[in-house]
Amino acid sequence: MPQMAPIGWLSLFIIFSITFILFSMMNYYSMIPKSPKSKISNKLMIKSLNWKW
């Protein structure tokens, strides 16, 4: 069985590394997180205005 040249292994490593990095970046940036901070701040503002002394 013939052995593979080192430049072939290097090119395969580079190709798989680039595809892995691109796939990871696409998965990371495809999700848009929702910011619940605005909802929490609105609730806090409403609660802070309802003080009964």
Grouping H, G, I as helix, E, B as strand and the rest as coil, residue 36 is coil
The closest alpha carbon to 17, from 5, 27, 28, 9, belongs to: 9
Inside any domain, residue 29:
yes
Task: Please state the domain count of the chain.
Answer: 1
Does some domain include residue 31? yes
Domain presence at residue 43: yes
Q: pLDDT digits over 1-53, tens only?
A: 467 788 888 999 999 999 999 999 999 888 777 766 655 555 555 555 556 66
pLDDT score recorded for residue 31: 77
Domain extent at residue 33: 6-49
**Residue 23: per-residue pLDDT:** 96
Domain assignment present for 10: yes
DSSP for 10-35, written as a single string: HHHHHHHHHHHHHHHHHHHHH-----
In whole angstroms, give the CA distance from residue 15 to residue 29: 21
pLDDT at 34: 75
